[in-house]
Amino acid sequence: MEDIEVETLADPELSDPVLIEGLPGVGHVGKLAVEHLLEEFDSEPVRHVYADEFPPQVTLDDNVAQLARAEFHAVDAGEHDLLILTGDHQAQSNEGHYHLTDAFLDIAEEFGVEEGYALGGVPTGELVDEPSVLGAVTDADDVERLEDAGVEFREDEPAGGIVGVSGLLLGLGERRGLSVACLMGETSGYLVDPQSAQGVLEVMQDVIGFEVGFESLEERAEEMKEVVGKIQEMQNQQQGQAISDDDLRYIG
Amino acid sequence: MEDIEVETLADPELSDPVLIEGLPGVGHVGKLAVEHLLEEFDSEPVRHVYADEFPPQVTLDDNVAQLARAEFHAVDAGEHDLLILTGDHQAQSNEGHYHLTDAFLDIAEEFGVEEGYALGGVPTGELVDEPSVLGAVTDADDVERLEDAGVEFREDEPAGGIVGVSGLLLGLGERRGLSVACLMGETSGYLVDPQSAQGVLEVMQDVIGFEVGFESLEERAEEMKEVVGKIQEMQNQQQGQAISDDDLRYIG
Amino acid sequence: MEDIEVETLADPELSDPVLIEGLPGVGHVGKLAVEHLLEEFDSEPVRHVYADEFPPQVTLDDNVAQLARAEFHAVDAGEHDLLILTGDHQAQSNEGHYHLTDAFLDIAEEFGVEEGYALGGVPTGELVDEPSVLGAVTDADDVERLEDAGVEFREDEPAGGIVGVSGLLLGLGERRGLSVACLMGETSGYLVDPQSAQGVLEVMQDVIGFEVGFESLEERAEEMKEVVGKIQEMQNQQQGQAISDDDLRYIG
Amino acid sequence: MEDIEVETLADPELSDPVLIEGLPGVGHVGKLAVEHLLEEFDSEPVRHVYADEFPPQVTLDDNVAQLARAEFHAVDAGEHDLLILTGDHQAQSNEGHYHLTDAFLDIAEEFGVEEGYALGGVPTGELVDEPSVLGAVTDADDVERLEDAGVEFREDEPAGGIVGVSGLLLGLGERRGLSVACLMGETSGYLVDPQSAQGVLEVMQDVIGFEVGFESLEERAEEMKEVVGKIQEMQNQQQGQAISDDDLRYIG
């Protein structure tokens, strides 16, 4: 096997395609968002990317092994075709991140992509009722267009910059002359966050011009709220317990 | 030295050879299983594989140094010849796992292998009286044949997929069109487990069609049971001790 | 992207250019020093160096992403032109340090550099009122010249040698026949230290023969002194608090 | 710079040269031993080996920087010439150990070496009054010759095999048809151990046939014994102190 191996599954002509990346990350916001698009729209897998920088691992799907890989899917979403990049893994080394992102951008360029979006989450450290979507861009001219769609641009946020594939899609994409934006939904950072993913997708609808239903994401968000509720209840009970224990000891 | 160096010791013609891998892993189940085959059958070493991804280490055999390596042995086991892969080391990096497994599959293909078995253990976290053998495959069509031989296929198990050479023999083997199965004996994960290794070999007898005696493995399993019994006794005594200490304190 | 990619922004003719390196390190002494030169003198960016050995990261400048990189700037400082090397990152691996330093020296030689200075800090573990500037050289003949400019040469200091790009600019520079000195301002090691940076620059003025104002560095040094003062006050209060708490408990 | 760069300082004709390696390791036994030979005999530096697998570091010698490297010295010790390999560093990665040892063996073969000795220490975990010298070989035929010179060969010791350059000089040397032995002086593992180094050299005198004085090593061994004595005294005092404190508390 080469260091990075790209398998071609299909080579459709895409019309004004837009790259959308959603690999695993904070709150799985990006991955949830692109998986939702793949569920809601018709899509066709077009490339698989294998790499010795991925973990040496197979996952099991009905007991059948599947080698660690990233996947590109073509989606007909209306005005623009979408080229969606997802998978279960990030690279495991600095160089790996650079090499894989380069390979991803090569594929995007093969399909004629000139515009891309890296979707992800930005951790707030606490539960957020109405998560904002923060933005970063390769081209200052894109700020206004994205602000009109509801993206917030805050000075010096995220403070540490953006790491991993999302960061490099901007950094390496810019060097190739692509216009790439990173859209980051606020999320606690502790839980998988379908609500934040929905927020990011609502922005994307506006920015790219497609329409998608949100029922299944809303259901998952409701489920997560119940989980959160139960955790909070348990914490309260434990604190109550602790207090009664203390009281007893005190009284005793 | 090249990154990976393959030394040819012999080049016998093998008839319908089946690859069987048993490198170090959970409970040493895979390694015990293939070592048992090498003890019970006549075998011939055919390849040694050296690699700079192995630890920079020699082991000592009667004070004579032996460089870290993997070994292929040819075994005449009846209907099928076996090509057995074993050794004392796994690779020490992600890329190393990929490169070595690729080299292993190259050697298997040189000998005409079309079918392979990666043997290993799956940790249960507790002592198991009658360990099952779990399976994973590259080809869904193999499930029924293996179930008939006693392999269990459980949904989404092992949950984390399969890592290391065993996982990649499936993942990379599938990409070459080989039919590979991973057979994992249940084992506590805390001890070397000859009983689990025997369970895996009993399945292999059926699947491949050979017959092998189990006396020496059964003896080692008996020895391990005695060791386990002594550990449990010691733990009980310590707990008893602890209780009497407590009692004394309580009484005092 | 290549492992290391050098982008040419300008190719001015430099007169007797001197390389001055100030990458992040102890007390940010080197980086503060060269940033001060870039603020005070007219400068022109001449090279950007990207590398897969840098962190896979973009930083944000007004929400616009900038890929991790090192930068060379040409400065007209009088008698000698300066070729200033700075950036936000060091390499993340041993090999990376060697490869990047080699690339940096290639660029320096393209501009005709024969003499270089690696600026940094040396940690003392405590606040220093009047930080000295310690030196290390590639050529024993340079010691006297630097001592005349106020550099101290102490036997066996720093004890652990010099690591990272600064160390390798000496080690690899010497092998190319360049004359390189490392000038290290004493600093506590706990805080960003503009005062130590000024000390290093005062030496540099003398050594290379330029003149620069220090107002802005002095202001930053004043600010840091206030910060240090407040921290010390808080520590004293906490200790006082602790004592009163103890007293209360004691009294109670 | 290449990954590994060999600098030729001299190319003397060596007569029946024997390689002796003493790089940093347990108790610095190997390094002390070969440094003693370099002090006692006339020697000539013949090769310097630089590598990006060494730490990115310069050490300082009278404030002059010296890039991390390994060194070969030619020594006229009588019957055999010696080719001594020493330095301040080991490689920092698995691959690095393999690549460097390969480069070291290339150099040894250039000089016509057919026989080598890797000197080192084997940790006992406690102070040893009369340290033995343990052996491991590439060729079982060498055991008797070395036993006659006082080397002990113990079954399965050292239990973990031999790691690093010493181990690979055997492992990779054997694959080139060289006869290499590893001689390991017993040592506590906590302290630099000149006494153990002397033990190893006394064996070497016999094995290779040279004569060397041991005054300076004996002096260093005496110094270490004084240091050990003081440490033991301090520990006894602390224990005494602890006891009196306890007593006071008890009495109080």
pLDDT band at C185 (very low <50, low <70, confident <90, very high): very high
Q: How many CB atoms lie within 10 A of CB C85?
A: 25
pLDDT in tens, B218-237: 999 999 989 888 888 888 87
Tokens 């191996």 label which residue?
Answer: A5
Statement: residue C244 has pLDDT above 80: no
Q: Which of chain A's residues have a Cβ under 8 Å away from the Cβ of C55? A: 94, 163
Q: Is the ipTM of this complex over 0.85?
A: yes
| B-A interface (Cβ pairs under 8 Å ≥ 3) | yes
pLDDT in tens, A21-75: 999 999 999 999 999 999 999 999 999 999 999 999 999 999 999 999 999 999 9
At A232 the pLDDT is 82
Amino acid at D113: V
- Nearest 5°: CA angle at A48, between A54 and B165? 40
**Residues D101, D93: contact at Cβ < 8 Å?**
no
**β-strand pairing of A115-123 with D64-67:** unpaired
Statement: residue B245 has pLDDT above 60: no
At B241 the pLDDT is 58
pLDDT in tens, C155-176: 888 988 999 999 999 999 999 9
Q: Is B70 helix (H, G, I), strand (E, B) or coil?
A: strand
pLDDT band at B246 (very low <50, low <70, confident <90, very high): very low
Burial D169-192 (b: 16+ CB within 10 A, else e): bbbbbbbeebbbbbbbbbbbeebb
**Nearest CB to A59: which of B97, B161, B164?**
B161
Statement: residue B150 has pLDDT above 60: yes
Query: Which two three-digit tokens encode residue B246?
Result: 């407590």
At D160 the pLDDT is 86
B120 reaches A (C-beta below 8 A) = no
C93 reaches A (C-beta below 8 A) = yes
D2 reaches C (C-beta below 8 A) = no
D61 reaches C (C-beta below 8 A) = no
Chain mean position to CA A247: 48
At B56 the pLDDT is 96
8-state DSSP, B26: G
Which residue, among B105, B93, B116, has the nearest Cα to B164 in the 3D structure? B93
Torsion angle defined by CA atoms of residues D121, D125, D131 and D135, in that order, rounded to the nearest 10 degrees: -40
In whole angstroms, what is the distance from residue D85 CA to residue D101 CA?
11
Please state the rounded mean pLDDT for residues B4-22: 97
In terms of CA atoms, which chain D residue is nearest residue C144? D63
Mean pLDDT, chain B, whole residue set: 92
8-state DSSP, B42: -
**Nearest CB to C167: which of D3, D56, D64?**
D56
Tell which wins on pLDDT, C222 or A237: C222
Please state the rounded mean pLDDT for residues C141-168: 94
In whole angstroms, what is the distance from residue D94 CA to residue C94 CA?
13
Closest-CA distance of chain D to residue B50, Å: 10
Torsion angle defined by CA atoms of residues C21, C23, C27 and C30, in that order, rounded to the nearest 10 degrees: 20
Statement: residue B76 has pLDDT above 70: yes
**Nearest CB to D163: which of B1, B57, B66?**
B57
Statement: residue D154 has pLDDT above 60: yes
At A247 the pLDDT is 41
Interchain CB distance below 8 Å, B170 and A92 = no
B48 reaches D (C-beta below 8 A) = no
Interchain CB distance below 8 Å, C161 and D54 = no
In whole angstroms, what is the distance from residue C16 CA to residue C236 CA?
53
Mean pLDDT, chain A, whole residue set: 92
Burial D51-87 (b: 16+ CB within 10 A, else e): bbbbbbbbbbeebbbbbbbbbbbbbebeebbbbbbbb
8-state DSSP, B129: S
**Residues C114, C105: contact at Cβ < 8 Å?**
no
With a pLDDT cut of 90, the percent of chain C lying above it is 81
Statement: residue B239 has pLDDT above 70: no
Q: What is the 3-state secondary structure (H, E, C) of chain D?
A: CCCEEEEECCCCCCCCCEEEECCCCHHHHHHHHHHHHHHHCCEEEEEEEEECCCCCEEEEECCEEEECCEEEEEEECCCCEEEEEEECCCCCCHHHHHHHHHHHHHHHHHCCCCEEEEEEEEECCCCCCCCCEEEEECCCCHHHHHHHCCCECCCCCCCCCEEHHHHHHHHHHHHCCCEEEEEEEEECCCCCCHHHHHHHHHHHHHHHHCCCCCHHHHHHHHHHHHHHHHHHHHHHHHHHHHHHHHHHHHHC
Q: How many CB atoms lie within 10 A of CB D238?
A: 10
In whole angstroms, what is the distance from residue D25 CA to residue D36 CA?
16
Query: Which two three-digit tokens encode residue D29?
Result: 């036994």
In whole angstroms, what is the distance from residue B246 CA to residue D136 CA?
52
Q: Which of chain B's residues have a Cβ under 8 Å away from the Cβ of D158? A: 60
Burial D113-149 (b: 16+ CB within 10 A, else e): bbbbbbbbbbebeeebeebbbbbbbbeeebbeebeeb
At C238 the pLDDT is 72
Query: Which two three-digit tokens encode residue D240?
Result: 């005494």
Torsion angle defined by CA atoms of residues B136, B139, B142 and B143, in that order, rounded to the nearest 10 degrees: 50
- Nearest 5°: CA angle at C42, between C39 and C47? 90
At B78 the pLDDT is 81
In terms of CA atoms, which chain A residue is nearest residue C52? A95
**Residues B81, B75: contact at Cβ < 8 Å?**
yes
**Nearest CB to D162: which of B1, B58, B92?**
B58
A62 reaches B (C-beta below 8 A) = yes
Interchain CB distance below 8 Å, B161 and A53 = no
**β-strand pairing of A115-123 with A70-76:** unpaired
Burial classification of residue A186, based on how many CB atoms lie within 10 Å of its CB (0-12 exposed, 13-18 middle, 19 or more buried): buried
φ/ψ of A100, rounded to 5, equals -65, -45
**Residues A67, A7: contact at Cβ < 8 Å?**
no
Which residue, among D117, D115, D125, D135, has the nearest Cα to D185 in the 3D structure? D135
**Residues D83, D20: contact at Cβ < 8 Å?**
yes
Tell which wins on pLDDT, D125 or B116: B116
C140 reaches A (C-beta below 8 A) = no
pLDDT in tens, D29-81: 999 999 999 999 999 999 999 999 999 999 999 999 999 999 999 999 888 89
**Nearest CB to C168: which of D56, D63, D93?**
D56
Q: What is the 3-state secondary structure (H, E, C) of chain C?
A: CCCEEEEECCCCCCCCCEEEECCCCHHHHHHHHHHHHHHHCCEEEEEEEEECCCCCEEEEECCEEEECCEEEEEEECCCCEEEEEEECCCCCCHHHHHHHHHHHHHHHHHCCCCEEEEEEEEECCCCCCCCCEEEEECCCCHHHHHHHCCCECCCCCCCCCEEHHHHHHHHHHHHCCCEEEEEEEEECCCCCCHHHHHHHHHHHHHHHHCCCCCHHHHHHHHHHHHHHHHHHHHHHHHHHHHHHHHHHHHHC
A168 reaches C (C-beta below 8 A) = yes
